[in-house]
Amino acid sequence: MSEETKGTVPAKVGVLGGGRMGAGIAHAFLISGSNVTVVEANPQAAAAAKERIESDLAKSLERGKIDGNLDKWAENLSVSLEHSDFAECELVIEAVPEIWDLKVSSLQQVEANLSENAWLATNTSSLSVDGLAAELKRPERFCGLHFFNPVPASKLVEIVIGQQTSDELQKLTLEWVAGIGKTPVTVNDAPGFASSRLGVALGLEAIRMVEEGVASAEDIDNAWCSVTSTPWARSRSRTSWAWMCALASRSTSNPSSAPASHRRSSCATWSNAASWARNPARASTTTRSLHSGSPA
């Protein structure tokens, strides 16, 4: 990002999905001055989303990151069940689970309810932004905004630019990310974007260390945690390990300099160790599913 880029945020922002990521994104824009509308699938999910966001607001107040009281900040939040409530939003960010058909149908429903001047973004961490854009009527007004978990504590946001993303949107995303006090990294759409590609390189090295007997999975995880305060193996779901293996196999630049067959075997080894760290009874199932080439 250029030092001259000034941070601004849209007056009205929409978030589709109020789970952990969606709630964090909503919180980020709320404390930066936006009015935020969150749309959820049912009343129970809507109530849970509201509770998550208000909890994050309360923590920000306790830590002195924002002034005032909870009621004041909550006035700028609305939680709805209707996509039509996105009609006045300048920007809507989709944050539903990483399921292709769900992402496509959700983005199409949102797009159908936006004004012609509104912008649309996906928070996907693993799906093709160009692929999603191909399913939309206005792909030039679409991009990826990849936030990291937990959003309130994470400083990085990957701005994922598709082949049809307009220059105007690329400029605006830099301003928005700066406006919510985070660091933008602009990448072109590619498997793993930038952050996950780097994570694959690190993950494959950790895998080799386990296979070579350098240390146990638990000790490697503890070593990593002491450096970064983030557990490596235990922080990943079985699906994310399968996806990491697939990304390593697809990547044209192979950070591990090992053949694909070895990478698959290695991913299975480490995923088995990761499953052991969370639930020893499921570890063998993970290994079988990864050797077969399908996520568990």
Distances (CA, A) of 271 to 93, 140, 234, 260: 31, 38, 10, 16
Nearest to 16, CA basis, from 76, 80, 73, 74: 80
Residue-wise over 103-122: b if at least 16 C-beta within 10 A, else e? Answer: bbebbeebbebbeeebbbbb
Long-range contacts of 66-75 (CB under 8 A, 24+ apart): 66/31, 73/30, 73/31
Number of Cβ within a 10 Å radius of residue 9: 20
> What distance in Å separates the CA atoms of residue 211 and residue 27, rounded to the nearest whole number?
42
> Are the C-beta atoms of 210 and 220 separated by less than 8 Å?
yes
Tell me the three state secondary structure of residue 28: helix
User: 278 Cβ partners below 8 Å, 6+ apart?
Assistant: 234
**What are 295's two structure tokens?**
């996520």
Q: Give dist(CA 243, CA 254) in Å, integer.
A: 15
Q: Which residue of the set 27, 146, 262, 291 is catalytic?
A: 146
The first and second tokens of residue 219, run together, are: 């000790």
Concerning whether 146 is annotated as a catalytic residue, the answer is: yes
Please give the positions annotated as active site: 146
